[in-house]
Amino acid sequence: MVIPAHNEASALPTSVAAVKAAGARVDIPVNVVVVLDACDDGSQALADRFGPDVHFVSVEAHNVGSARAAGFCFARSHFPDDPDGPGCWYATTDADSRVDRDWLARQLVAQADMVLGVVRIASWRHIPAAAARRYLRAYYAKIHPDRGRHEHIHGANMGFAARAYWDVGGFAALSTAEDADLVRRFESAGYHIRRDSRLSVATSARQTGRAPQGFAAHLRGMLAERTRDSA
């Protein structure tokens, strides 16, 4: 499991602890790779806190796609599971997110080459109520509860078979939409993708993120729309 991070020392302990808890619920060996991308906030000092199954890697990419890719390259070269074998599974989330305890277990039983989940905002405290309602209406309009499917793509909540990941070339060095780009290549290659609206990850409502047009930018857009409506 890979977690990219840029100056998120305050959020990482919660994120890593949640991922480890999810890993403890499955009957296979689980390793976690935290990729510190251009961090100067002391994040590296956390490396000894979590035990031997959590690995910290430092890069200077300033790029979330490159950071995720570096994590999986590390996994491929350091862990004993055959990355081209049928039983090797990769997953990724974000440093400001908290996965549920069944997060990995749901992915492993999905019988798919890729599993895409949804996100929920952990706290709306700093978001105006009107903007929160607008966001929720738009977000849930793309979820189909009758079929358990959805139309969202989040790097904070996705998993995939290692062999398929390497077959399509892995994450590209994109500063934005590296997750959507990977999904498009899985689709083009004909891999089976399972979209599970019950596979949910709690994430922050921060408005400044690592990806220029990522989830944080989407929330900023909601606030800007509220400002225009009030003008």
- Convert the pLDDT of each residue in 70-104 to its tens digit: 999 999 999 876 666 667 999 999 999 999 999 99
For residues 162-189, average pLDDT: 97
Residue 218 has pLDDT above 60, yes or no: no
| 112 DSSP 8-state letter | S
| Among the listed residues 155, 165, 156, 158, the one whose alpha carbon sits nearest the alpha carbon of residue 186 | 165
Query: Average pLDDT for residues 207-217, to the nearest whole number?
Result: 55
Contact indicator for 32, 78 with CB cutoff of 8 Å: no
SS3 210: coil
pLDDT of residue 126: 78
Cβ(158)–Cβ(114) under 8 Å?
Answer: yes
- At residue 81, the pLDDT reads 65
Give the separation between CA 198 and CA 196, rounded to whole angstroms: 5
CA within 13 Å, CB half, 199: 27
Record the pTM. Answer: 0.88
Q: Is the dihedral of CA 7, 56, 18, 13 positive or negative?
A: negative
Dist CA 153 CA 194 (whole Å): 11
Q: What is the C-alpha separation between 26 and 30, in angstroms, rounded? A: 8
pLDDT of residue 208 exceeding 80, the answer is: no
Lowest mean pLDDT among 4-8, 170-174, 197-201, 219-223: 219-223
Rounded to an integer, what distance in angstroms lies between the CA atom of residue 143 and that of residue 155? 17
Secondary structure (3-state) at 16: helix
pLDDT tens digits, one per residue of 101-135: 999 999 999 999 999 999 999 888 878 888 888 88
The DSSP letter of residue 4 is E
Distances (CA, A) of 141 to 121, 197, 200: 16, 12, 16
Q: What is the DSSP letter of 48?
A: G
Residue 215: phi, psi to the nearest 5?
Answer: -65, -40
Contact 29, 49 (CB under 8 A): no
pLDDT at 67: 98
* Residue-level pLDDT at 135: 86
Supply the pLDDT for residue 219: 59
State how far the Cα of 36 lies from the Cα of 71, in Å rounded to an integer.
10
For residue 210, the model assigns a pLDDT of 58
